[in-house]
Amino acid sequence: MVNASCSQKAMDAIVKGAKALAFTALELFENPEELVKVKEDHAWHVEHQKEN
């Protein structure tokens, strides 16, 4: 596991994941109306998860 997590493939995956998160944050900063929608969707899912 240690060798796999330190491999170049793992490091590339970490960079790709970080970029995806950064671009998502940028998109939400540039489009606050989308952030409102995301927060509303999240709240709905949290509320309805309690029913199950």
Question: Quick check: helix, strand or coil at residue 52?
Answer: coil
Residue 29 is encoded by which pair of tokens?
């900063």
For 39, what's the count of Cα atoms within 13 Å in the CB-facing half-sphere? 6
Q: Do 25 and 15 touch, CB atoms closer than 8 A?
A: no
The angle, 0 to 180 degrees and rounded to 10, between the axes of the packed helices 8-30 and 32-49 is 110
First-to-last C-alpha distance (Å) of the chain: 36
- pLDDT at residue number 13: 96
- Domain boundaries, position 8: 2-49
Interval 1-52: pLDDT, tens: 888 889 999 999 999 999 999 999 999 999 999 999 999 999 999 999 876 5
Q: How many independent structural domains does the chain possess?
A: 1
